[in-house]
Structure 1
Amino acid sequence: MGFYVRKSVKAGPFRFNLSKSGVGVSAGVPGFRVGTGPRGNYVHLGRGGVYYRTSLKGPTPHATPAVPSPVHTSSVLMEDVTGATALEMAPTGGGDIVEQLNAAARHFRLGWLVSVVAFILGGAVMPWGPLVWALAAPLCVWLFLRDAAKSKVVLFYDVNDAAASWFDSLVEHWLRLSETKKLWRTVASGQVNTLYQHKTNAGASNLVQRADATAGLAGPKHLATNVAVPSIVVGKTSIHFLPDRILVRDGKTYSDVSYPNVRATGYQARFIESPGHTPRDAVQVDQTWQYVNKKGGPDRRYANNPVLPIMMYGNLELTSSGGLQWKVQSSRTDAAPAVAEVLQRVPKGEVAG
């Protein structure tokens, strides 16, 4: 299928290879490598459900439709709408991938620390500094390789049948989402309750605060896998879509949610945008003013009353009973709703060990 990236994955000094007999690992330098197998995490999806095999011990690394507006939020009570953090969410996807990812994310890197100490020590014992550096160099190289390995979790997927077709469709639609000119995550929302708030906030019914987001197929930095990973990154938080689960990251903490536990909703909605902030691929459907009268026209009492464009944006909402809550807005009207439609068609299956 088109979403497969490669049959081998590199994590530090180790290269993992997927074959018909399973997952093998080799380590060494070009021209001289040693290997064994199976190693790494292996997930099979297809007819009969999802089957997960964890890593063996060895040299494996631990492994809203109402019209909102972003202006004058100080007069409206804003509530956080980002849901539970990854630390608060209990993993539901099965297997120990989350445990391995958390260990990899929190691994303390010794390579740079030892290198700095060796450099300072060498400078302090001159003229014996070059000897100290020469002796410390192999240790530093080994530590860098060790850090690179322990900071990655290797995960191979073997996907076929309906699961493969579905995930290929998700990746295809995700490419359109990643090409949208602007992507945001809604992080706070507040209801407009008074007439004064309504008139001084361009006639909006509720206000939102947004954070810039980026969409791609790279996946989290602590995961090495052989498939494309549709992802949305917002600062230190991110969400990643794997063939068998959704990963949620908050800083150095990961959790996951199984697809049957997630509700995906997609729709198009009007949004009152700030002047001069209209993305090139967005559609303007109307306009309003910063200060409006009861009839919705411009309030003539304000000399500085800028015209605000009303845009039509695409929206994707992801929620779960466990606290997942992601509201994503795309400047391209069809991008986010198309992803939601694919997520609503996820194949049904059971997880087996």
Structure 2
Amino acid sequence: MAWSYRKRIKLIPGVHLNLSKSGISTSIGVRGASITVGKSGTFLNTSLPVLGLHNRQRLSGPEPPSDPTSSPSDRILPLNQSRGNIFSSDVQEITSQNMQGVKEVLLLAHQQRKELNSDLLKTKASLGGSKVKLVISYLLIYGLIKRSIPEQIKSDIESQKEAIAQLQQAVEDSYVAFEIDFDQELKERYQKLVDSFIQLTGCAKIWDVTGAHHQDRKTTRSSASRLVEKREVRFSLKSLPEVKLGFDALCFQNANGADLYIYPSFVIMYSSKTNFAVIGLDELSLSQSYVRFVERDAIPRDTKIIDKTWAKVNKNGSPDKRFKGNHQIPVVRYGELILNTTTGLNEQYQLSNYEFTEAFGNAFRDYQAAIRGTKQR
């Protein structure tokens, strides 16, 4: 009996983004259609509704930009309260309400790719089985006597090869195609943001601050008012396989949670292919400042020493002479980035180069102000 294979494939909706000074709008969806991969070819069936997802909405939010002039020494860290740990909420809870449609099509692309890969493996296994049958038919001579048997097997092999090629192409096509219309001014501002981020990736050290709590300076005889837990991470230009946008995202590695991928109009907080959040860029609050840090370890090559203190210090800043071997410790200036949203994203970073951090913060606020349709103060 002839081998046959038919697989109906959903068309992944495209996402169109329109970015202008009046704000961001997006539309999601395509006309219902499906593809059937079969022995006799590939067919487009437009009569079958597949995904009636259409979403056009304004994404500008009411939340104003963070105040970049706030004093770093007076600012209280926005902690999720668990012994001073700094982390975001569960990634499934963070998606913006007006970004649910984008998340749904990304999940659809992943599910279809998973199903197609499974079918591809089965078809390849069937092809292998057919080749074995063809060899056996000749070895046992019956294939030489009844020529219709090997001819049928050969026909199955060709059909399977054709199906494999079509499935492989379908896997490649199972992604969300994003199209972006920038107006010229926004395009220039976004390029400045990317350039400043590339510069930021060159910092000698980047840390994810995972915890911080205040300490009693009188008891510890230390000049530091808080203890910080941090882990070294990397920033890079990177993208996700389900997103085809023509350029990479600004990727912030997260030491104790999902990584952040910043695209021109949204942020994906990504833990896995099925565990992620999508957040409107206009909803992301980014504050940039600096911290005075008592550095007991090696000082990064691009960090400036701005002061000195003592290992054991009195309240007035003088060395505590009760301790033998009391030595001086450098105080450095690090850049600081804090990212949070009202939905639960909460991340904090320290960077060895303050000037690069400041340039990125300014470029981000400038671009964000433009897509919100507001003027930067």
* TM-score (norm. length: structure 1): 0.67
Shift of 1:50: 2.5
* Matched AA of 1:82: F
Provide the C-alpha distance between the structure 1 equivalents of 2:91 and 2:345, rounded to a whole number of angstroms: 9
User: Do 2:294 and 2:331's aligned partners in 1 also have CA atoms closer than 8 Å?
Assistant: yes
Give the equivalent residue in structure 2 for 1:171.
Answer: 194
Corresponding residue for residue 17 of structure 2: 43
- Whole-Å Cα distance in 1 between the matches of residues 250 and 303 of structure 2? 22
Inter-partner Cα distance in structure 1 for 2:310 and 2:169:
58
Q: CA 1:299/1:99 → structure 2, altered by over 3 Å: closer, same or farther?
A: farther
- Identity percentage over the alignment? 18
Whether the 8 Å contact between 2:13 and 2:105 is mirrored in structure 1 is: no
The verdict on how the C-alpha distance between 1:108 and 1:272 changes in structure 2, with shifts beyond 3 A counting, is farther
3-state SS in 1 of match to 2:89: coil
Mapping 1:303-322, distance limit 5 Å: 308-322=329-343
Gaps of 5+ in 2: 1-10, 36-50, 52-70, 75-81, 137-152
Q: Distance in 2 between matches of 1:308 and 1:216?
A: 32
Cα 1:273–1:114, aligned 2, differ >3 Å: closer, same or farther?
farther
Contact preservation (8 Å) 2:217, 2:224: no
1:213, 1:145 → 2: CA distance?
36
1:265-292 CA-partner distances (Å, limit 9, x unpaired): 111221123423x222122233445555
Cα distance in 2 for residues equivalent to 1:142 and 1:298:
76
Return closer, same or farther for 1:307/1:223 CA change in 2, 3 Å cut-off. Answer: farther
After TM superposition, list the pairs within 5 Å mapping 1:114-153 onto structure 2: 114=121, 118=125, 146-150=170-174, 152-153=175-176
Q: Which residue of 2 aligns with 1:7?
A: none
Residues 122-174 of structure 1: CA deviation (Å, up to 9, x unaligned) = 7xx9997xx9xx89877666655555543x32212121143223212211211
Taking a change above 3 Å as real, the CA distance of residues 310 and 111 of structure 1, as seen in their structure-2 partners, is same
| Equivalent position of 2:106 in the other structure | 101
Match of 1:330 in 2: 351
1:96-138 Cα distance to aligned partner (Å, 9 max, x none): 22222344456647748937x949x97xx9997xx9xx89877
1:240 CA drift (Å): 2.2
CA 1:192–1:233: 2 relative to 1, 3 Å: same
- 1:45 partner amino acid: L
Structure 1 pair 209–103 and aligned structure 2 pair: CA distance change class (3 A): farther
Which residue does the alignment assign to 2:146?
A: none
Shift of 1:177: 0.8
**CA 194–283 in structure 1, closer or farther in 2 if over 3 Å, else same:** closer
Which structure's residues are more often helix, by fraction? 2
In the TM superposition, residue 241 of structure 1 has moved relative to its aligned partner by: 2.1
Larger of the two Rg values belongs to structure: 2
For residue 210 of structure 1, the aligned residue among 230, 252, 275 is 230
Find the partner of 1:162 among 179, 185, 192. Answer: 185
Cα 1:271–1:149 shift into 2, 3 Å: farther
The Cα of 1:39 is off from its aligned counterpart by 6.3
CA distance in 2, matches of 1:103, 1:210: 36
Tell me the amino acid that sits aligned with residue 114 of structure 1: L
Q: Which has the higher strand share?
A: 1
1:205, distance to aligned residue in structure 2 (A): 0.7
> Secondary structure, in 3 states, of the residue corresponding to 1:81?
coil
| Partners of 2:357 and 2:330 in 1: CA distance | 21
For 2:240, the equivalent position in structure 1 comes to: 220
Question: Greater shift after overlay, 89-98 or 336-345?
Answer: 89-98
Please say if residues 334 and 350 of structure 2, whose CA atoms lie closer than 8 Å, have aligned partners that are also in contact: yes
Task: State the SS of the aligned residue for 1:230.
Answer: strand
SS at match of 1:210: strand
Q: Is the 8 A contact 1:85 1:250 kept in 2?
A: no
Q: What whole-Å deviation, never above 9, does each CA across 1:7-60 have from its counterpart, x for those lacking one?
A: xxxxxxxxxxxxxxxxxxxxxxxxxxxxxx996222122254333222425579
Q: Distance in 1 between matches of 2:310 and 2:171?
A: 55
> 2:270 maps to which residue?
249
Please, what is the CA RMSD of the aligned residues?
A: 4.2
Pick which of 239-248 and 166-175 moved more.
Answer: 239-248
AA of the residue aligned to 1:343: F
Count of residue pairs the alignment pairs up: 294
Q: Does 1:85 align with 2:90?
A: yes
Against the structure 1 CA distance between its residues 292 and 39, is the aligned structure 2 distance closer, same or farther, given a 3 Å change threshold?
Answer: same
